[in-house]
Structure 1
Amino acid sequence: MLKALYDYGVRQNLTQPPGFSGKTVKAYISLSEDDDHVSIYLGDKESVLCPDIGSLAQGRDKCNILVEKRSIVVPDAATEDGKLPAKSRFFLETLRSASEAEPRLKVCVRALETPETMEKIREELDRMKIKPGDTVSFRVNGQSVLQSEKVRDWWKSFRKQFSKECEKPSALCLITGERAQAMTTTTPVQGLFVVGGHPRGDSLICFDKPAFCSYNQKQAANAPVSEEAFSVVKAALDELLKDAPVLAGMKFVHWFDREIPKDKDLFNLLDDLGDDTAEDDPEDEPEEETKVNERAERKRADQAPESVRSGDAVPDLDDVSYHILMLSGVNSRIMIRRYDRGNYADLRRNINQWYADLSLTNYSGTGNIKQVKLAARLIHLLKFLKSDSRPLERMPKELSGITPTIIQAILTGGVLPDAVASKALTYIRSKLLAGDDESAQTTRNIQSTMPDSLACQWLKVWLLRKNRMNHQEVSIVEEYNLNLSNPAYHCGGLMAVYAAIQRTAMPDVNTGIVERYYASAIQMPALAIGQLSRHSNYHLEKMENKWLADRYRENLQEVSVALGRHIPATLNLEQQSYFALGYYQMGAKLNKERKEAVAASKERTAVAEQ
């Protein structure tokens, strides 16, 4: 993994000179050689190459030069003995040494040694609301001292004295394999603050526990890395983490071992969160009021995955390797949740298989469910909360344990964990039963009495891959399959017909059979199906549309024949998944038939009127 990051950093020219790192300067203290005028210039958000003492700061009395926190550069008060704090004293002494190489720094030294000038600097910093923890640097005669080549050359030689203090026997670097002096501590990596990291960065390699000692070696001697090599790894991680998306509380980092066209990056299908993180199901919606630019953006977003998944072969990419890191921050350390690498050709085949397994009819039965990004799909594995407006914030706590396994299953074509089916079933059941409260009755419709479509996709993929692993016949298709020999599946189909019959006969009923019987039917179908059958006879007799009533009778007969004579008494996790999937697909089939019947009736009426 370290070597792959190192190669990426070298290939992208991200290497920084040893002893330097990119930093953001909050404010510049602007001074002049001609007078004592002091002003403050706010820095921009761009990273600037700065001297960095890094792991050479042995003890608590050293700090960086030229760029440091305000509390160190401009301390508010001296210590009890009248001296500056240790780090502030080190900063001033080092700045005085640097002024021998760069005369402009003498202006900075004189300002820090003059009480009147220091007071002016404090007042200006307070006026500009620069906090003690904000980083500050200097400008002299209108130019930043960080741009001075003289300062950079001085620092390269000056820092060698600290290397002598901590000089260790040379060892083979784990990254490059070359003999070099090992770092005692590594520079923190930036970019993990949103996933539990520290604002000042997190350590990738650290040895602070006795358990990390082996072969009588202590701390970094167990895993020696050179400063030059690790600076490249850090630069690569800093760069990759900038735009890395967040999935269930982890940063999803990926790269390839050589440059590929952006439109051929298969991970765009998984990690581009976009606006597809809404909790609503991706069904067809009217777009009359949609702004033109929004519609165009959505069309471009839809086309991007299609271009990646298209059958256009790219043989020159088949030998490309990909790398994936899923990272989070814990106690100022980087936690590597998962690391994977593989071949581009296998990745393309497995992602195409993923989308093929996901294919499932939509609620209306007129086509398949529109594809959404992975983050939006993961929402449907959370605990269902009717009034939850920020489901993404719950992902780190509820899904961090299974998300890496899901990612691996997608990329390798493997099976999903059983927890996926369990969570999807819980989501379906909770969402269906949420329609039982009075506030939902005013908006009850066909969709509210059907299982959640994205949760059903999870169940379909889980069942398909479980069957493949067990070398069983794979006969789960997009639409309802009367030839599928699974009693639990057809029990779900029967309940969907019973629900449609009641909804047609009694559209204004407060609590339907879904709210009353779904929870028991999916666990003990033999107990519930008999009761539902008796109710359906009453509802069919009450139905005014005799053609529709006859059609429902035909549906019941077809499913009953497919079910056979045996109705299971209880259902396990796999059978419950078949039940939910059968219920959903039969509901979509009935919706399609109803729409076709209405359209045919309108056509006959129009012909008769002519």
Structure 2
Amino acid sequence: MILQALVQHYEDLAACGKVAKPGWGLAKVSYALYLNDQGEVVRIVSVKTEQQRGKKMIWAPQEMVVPAPVKRSSGVLANFLCDNSSYILGVDSKGKPKRARECLEACRELHENILSDVGHPAAQAVLAFFRSWDPEQLQTHPAFQAVQEEMDDILGNANFVFRYDGEYVHEIEEIRRAWQAYSTADDDAQLRICLVTGQFAPAAQLHPAIKGIKDAQSSGASLVSFNAPAFCSYGREQGMNAPTSQYAAFAYGTALSHLIADREHINYIGDTAVLCWVQGGEPEYQDVFGGFLFGDENNAYHAEDYHQMAHDLATGRPFDFHESRIDPERPFYVLGIAPNAARLSVRFFLRSTFGDMIRNILAHQKRLEIIRPSYDQNETLSLWRVLNETVNQNAQKKTASPVLAGELLRAILTNTPYPATLLNGVTLRIRAEHEITRGRAAIIKAYYLNQRNPNPDVPKEVLTVSLNPDSNNVYYNLGRLFSVLEDIQSKANPGINATIRDRYFNAASATPAHVFPILLNLAQKHLKKLNEGQRVYYGKQLGSITDKLGEEYPNRLTLPQQGSFQLGYYHQTQERYQKNSKEDM
């Protein structure tokens, strides 16, 4: 299913002219070698372009469609008309002159095999170059002397292409035909029924190496591979264990590489790269999806557009975005892949209509809605903020668990219950820091709202956006009571260093029967420091809450009961802050 979807995406991109055809691929090219009729290098010109990286503009290699690069793991394998200095010039900066000579010889042999029968002058110039070039010329050659300041880059891993008479050699039609004939001729290929396309076609022995995934091997990692006898069956080797046609292997590899290279639409959650695409290939769907899920305001939408777009998607109506028509019924795909040694591990693969996925995201954001501090101007909580609530911000590594990130994203997009590890992570942070932030309270609320079977200890009457003073839930009101007691202490002792929240919060939310009598006795002493009006005000607040608690406090609270306590505390505290903010105004 994954490979079929990627092959279809390749065909959509190819129809728009956005990806290379079979036998061709993208490569990052830094320099062009200008050749004359005798195959001599007359100039070396940088083809780098100015590109934006974050907030900076830098000069970086230019992506070009060139003859498809080979998959290198070890040994010597040359590319046609586009390669690095070891293969094109027979030199490198790694101190391995013997290997560089072997690379040059392999490159020379490859070009002889492909271009020897091509009559175009450019082909003969390239052959003349390889027949006459001596790596010893590099130190004294005028063309290389003119670019001495760039020699470190030239001798590094930079790629070269050839130019002849004002044209890139790999773009000349006669030479392209020669390469196409060479690249598609495979006398050793076995004919098999392709598991992806269903067609009887030459099978790929090796699948493409996918480059660009963070923390994966720089030389590329395989999505499909068989590298040990334990993975093989019936004596078949490598790709023959799951026959995939050469076309399908090329197509899915090209589509996947295109998605990874699209910096505007690739997002990382932990170690997982999240890729998405729509059937048809229009990038506007990725813009909208990224904006709703990741909160990317630059790519997705302006604040004034958000509510209208959400309403249209919720009701299944198409809408216009960046002069494109967004159809909620279009099939949409989300793929999560992570590095695993020399391979790529599929964390999740989801397929649905675009409208369904966005509606699930909106339902997730609706569950997260909770009263927010006056200084928090964000209407919604992005996925990053939700995950960050489970992370110790004082730790050296401030990233959420990649497993949790993948499980959470799957739960959001499929509208299924959130993983228990999300609630556990938030609970640990509350216990460690004695603080309930907007994000943590929102997660507790959303987690219990999205359970298949409602928990009686966390009823809907406490899972509200703001304070519910009419709730009779004991655990919720205990949280409210703790917030009022904290407020009394802060009014009686302005600027106090350690409040009852710092000393008693964990104990109060876990064993209230042991703690609240102490806190109430302490509150009576604090009330004596206040003026009469304040004593009356707080006395009414305490009375209205304690009337709902009965004569005895619970000995121990379970995790769900603590969730109600934490929500009661957060709601009561925010109600106090909101009131103070209005009074200041």
How far apart are residue 330 of structure 1 and its match? 2.2
Q: What corresponds to 1:146 in structure 2?
A: 170
**Partners of 1:218 and 1:34 in 2: CA distance:** 46
Q: SS state of the match for residue 477, structure 2?
A: helix
Q: SS state of the match for residue 340, structure 1?
A: strand
**Match of 2:279, as an amino acid?**
D
**Match of 1:211, as an amino acid?**
A
Q: What corresponds to 1:202 in structure 2?
A: 221
Q: What corresponds to 2:424 in structure 1?
A: 422
Matches within 5 A, 1:535-554: 535-544=522-531, 546-554=532-540
**Partners of 2:466 and 2:73 in 1: CA distance:** 67
Q: What corresponds to 1:254 in structure 2?
A: 276
Q: Is the 8 A contact 1:263 1:308 kept in 2?
A: no
Q: What corresponds to 1:90 in structure 2?
A: 106
**Partners of 1:35 and 1:596 in 2: CA distance:** 81
**Partners of 1:123 and 1:175 in 2: CA distance:** 52
Describe the superposition over 1:313-333 as per-residue Cα deviations: whole angstroms up to 9, x where unpaired.
334645332211111222232
How far apart are residue 310 of structure 1 and its match? 2.1
Q: Is the 8 A contact 2:91 2:97 kept in 1?
A: no
**Partners of 2:68 and 2:138 in 1: CA distance:** 25
Describe the superposition over 1:194-233 as per-residue Cα deviations: whole angstroms up to 9, x where unpaired.
2x22223321211102232134433211211112222221
How far apart are residue 117 of structure 1 and its match? 4.6
**Partners of 1:309 and 1:58 in 2: CA distance:** 48
Q: Is the 8 A contact 2:484 2:542 kept in 1?
A: yes
Q: What corresponds to 1:110 in structure 2?
A: 128
Structure 1 residues 143 and 117, CA gap change in structure 2 (3 angstroms): farther
Q: What corresponds to 1:187 in structure 2?
A: 208
Q: What corresponds to 1:528 in structure 2?
A: 515
**Match of 2:437, as an amino acid?**
D
How far apart are residue 9 of structure 1 and its match? 1.7
Does 1:352 pair with 2:362? yes
How far apart are residue 108 of structure 1 and its match? 3.4
Structure 1 residues 210 and 372, CA gap change in structure 2 (3 angstroms): same
> How many residues in Structure 1 have an aligned counterpart in Structure 2?
545
Task: Give the counterpart of 1:136 among 142, 146, 160.
Answer: 160
**Partners of 2:138 and 2:510 in 1: CA distance:** 76
Q: What corresponds to 1:267 in structure 2?
A: 289
**Match of 1:454, as an amino acid?**
G
Q: Which deviates the most, 87-96 or 534-543?
A: 87-96
**Partners of 1:539 and 1:100 in 2: CA distance:** 98
Matches within 5 A, 1:328-367: 328-363=338-373
Q: What corresponds to 2:545 in structure 1?
A: 559
Q: What corresponds to 1:400 in structure 2?
A: 402
How far apart are residue 467 of structure 1 and its match? 6.3
Point out where structure 2 has 5 or more consecutive residues left out of the alignment: 49-60, 319-326
Q: Which deviates the most, 90-99 or 508-517?
A: 90-99
Q: What corresponds to 1:445 in structure 2?
A: none
Structure 1 residues 48 and 260, CA gap change in structure 2 (3 angstroms): closer
Task: Give the counterpart of 1:72 among 74, 77, 87.
Answer: 87
Structure 1 residues 561 and 82, CA gap change in structure 2 (3 angstroms): closer
Q: SS state of the match for residue 548, structure 2?
A: helix
Does 1:581 pair with 2:567? yes
Q: Is the 8 A contact 2:288 2:300 kept in 1?
A: no
Q: What corresponds to 2:58 in structure 1?
A: none
Does 1:456 pair with 2:471? no
Q: Is the 8 A contact 1:54 1:186 kept in 2?
A: no
Q: Which deviates the most, 478-487 or 351-360?
A: 478-487
Task: Give the counterpart of 2:75 among 60, 70, 77.
Answer: 60
Q: Is the 8 A contact 1:522 1:571 kept in 2?
A: yes
**Partners of 1:160 and 1:590 in 2: CA distance:** 73
How far apart are residue 142 of structure 1 and its match? 3.7
How far apart are residue 596 of structure 1 and its match? 4.8
How far apart are residue 19 of structure 1 and its match? 1.9
Describe the superposition over 1:180-207 as per-residue Cα deviations: whole angstroms up to 9, x where unpaired.
1111112222331x2x222233212111
**Partners of 1:58 and 1:356 in 2: CA distance:** 49
Does 1:378 pair with 2:387? yes
**Partners of 2:300 and 2:402 in 1: CA distance:** 31
**Partners of 1:368 and 1:147 in 2: CA distance:** 53
**Partners of 1:368 and 1:146 in 2: CA distance:** 54
How far apart are residue 368 of structure 1 and its match? 9.6
Q: SS state of the match for residue 306, structure 1?
A: helix
Q: Is the 8 A contact 2:34 2:162 kept in 1?
A: yes
Q: What corresponds to 2:321 in structure 1?
A: none
Structure 1 residues 229 and 80, CA gap change in structure 2 (3 angstroms): closer
**Match of 1:68, as an amino acid?**
D
Q: SS state of the match for residue 136, structure 1?
A: strand
**Partners of 1:114 and 1:598 in 2: CA distance:** 81
How far apart are residue 583 of structure 1 and its match? 0.7
How far apart are residue 423 of structure 1 and its match? 1.2
**Partners of 1:394 and 1:351 in 2: CA distance:** 25
Q: Is the 8 A contact 1:9 1:15 kept in 2?
A: yes
**Partners of 1:239 and 1:31 in 2: CA distance:** 32
**Partners of 1:554 and 1:520 in 2: CA distance:** 25
Structure 1 residues 15 and 541, CA gap change in structure 2 (3 angstroms): same
**Partners of 2:181 and 2:530 in 1: CA distance:** 93
Q: What corresponds to 1:491 in structure 2?
A: 478
Q: What corresponds to 2:67 in structure 1?
A: 51
Between Structure 1 and Structure 2, which shows a larger proportion of helix residues?
1
Does 1:477 pair with 2:464? yes
How far apart are residue 140 of structure 1 and its match? 2.4
Q: SS state of the match for residue 569, structure 1?
A: coil
Point out where structure 1 has 5 or more consecutive residues left out of the alignment: 276-296, 433-449, 600-610
How far apart are residue 237 of structure 1 and its match? 1.4
Q: Is the 8 A contact 2:477 2:545 kept in 1?
A: yes
TM-score (norm 2): 0.84
Aligned-CA RMSD value: 3.2
Does 1:224 pair with 2:224? no
Q: Is the 8 A contact 2:25 2:67 kept in 1?
A: yes
**Partners of 1:467 and 1:84 in 2: CA distance:** 63
**Partners of 1:358 and 1:80 in 2: CA distance:** 59
**Partners of 2:98 and 2:295 in 1: CA distance:** 56
Q: Is the 8 A contact 1:249 1:328 kept in 2?
A: yes
Task: Give the counterpart of 1:409 among 411, 414, 421.
Answer: 411
Structure 1 residues 517 and 215, CA gap change in structure 2 (3 angstroms): same
Describe the superposition over 1:112-164 as per-residue Cα deviations: whole angstroms up to 9, x where unpaired.
42437554266566542313322112222343212211211111223355x22
**Partners of 2:233 and 2:292 in 1: CA distance:** 40
Q: Is the 8 A contact 2:289 2:358 kept in 1?
A: no
Task: Give the counterpart of 1:465 among 428, 450, 453.
Answer: 450
Q: What corresponds to 1:442 in structure 2?
A: none
Q: SS state of the match for residue 412, structure 2?
A: helix
**Partners of 2:376 and 2:64 in 1: CA distance:** 53
Between Structure 1 and Structure 2, which shows a larger proportion of strand residues?
2
